[in-house]
Amino acid sequence: MVLNAQNSSFYIGANGGVNLSKFKFTEDLKELYPNSNKILGLNGGIDLGFEIQNFTIATGVQYVQKGSEYQTANFEDENGVGFYSATERLHYVSIPILFGYRKYFGDVVALSIAFGPSINFGVGGKIDDQIEYFGVDGVEQQNYKVLFGEGVNDDYKSTHMGFQISPGLIYKVNENSKLKFNVTWDFGTSDMYNSRYKSANDFFADNKGDQLNRTAMFTIGYEYHFSFGDKY
């Protein structure tokens, strides 16, 4: 098969930036935690891809901080009226597989769109939580280490699937170098909790539902292109 290679190349690159993430709860968990707020994190990684005419196929390895703040409504127990709040900070290594299109305007600037699945591997995290009671000075604070795996004591699955949509802007520096600015939305597609842990924990017998992650990443990246030549 013969193609014009004017815009056909293999590229490697690097990217980094910040992201905002939060949890989305369903069913009873949504009623238990009516307030779920975004937290700020960092991301960075390397890119590998092909640009064939206006189309791209890309992957890479990226470190992403995710998590959320969440709170209960006021509740009453033997200690009085109080509320519970927590902040989770989770660390992932993500491998996306993205299919994209770039529309060039002249020789320098292009708009881009890419989408596809992402595989997210949990590598660590922690939970800082507290309970505050009405009329009581101070709060009860605790912190926990988050575990990823398939065991009965592992909070979350070791691997989470996501789906990414990533619009962006491309600036061509020269024949080999391009800068890019992207906003990427990563939607978790399944429950984060490890099913074995969930079935063993009485908390989930009374509180049905799933916990999913939503992340918006803002990144600046660089690509170095190796042209295929006249044919490939």
Q: First-to-last CA distance in the chain?
A: 8
Mean pLDDT of the chain, nearest integer? 92
SS3 204: helix
pLDDT above 70 coverage of the chain, percent: 95
User: Mean pLDDT across the stretch 5-17?
Assistant: 86
- Alpha-carbon distance of 11 to 65, in angstroms, equals 26
State the pLDDT confidence band at 231, using cuts at 50, 70 and 90: very low
Quote the CA–CA distance of 156 and 134 in Å, as a whole number: 33
Residue 27 CB neighbour total at 10 angstroms: 11
Q: CA separation (Å) from 97 to 94, 111, 167?
A: 10, 19, 15
As a whole number of angstroms, the distance between CA 159 and CA 194 comes to 10
Residue where the block lists tokens 């491309």? 170
The tens digit of pLDDT for each residue in 172-229 reads 999 899 999 999 999 999 999 999 999 999 999 989 999 999 999 999 999 999 987 6
Residue 66: what are its φ and ψ, rounded to 5°?
-130, 180
**The whole model's pTM is what?**
0.89
CA gap 209, 15 in Å, rounded: 35
Q: What is the SS3 assignment for 149?
A: coil
Residue 153 has pLDDT above 60, yes or no: yes
List the one residue out of 108, 15, 3, 106 whose CA is nearest residue 58: 15
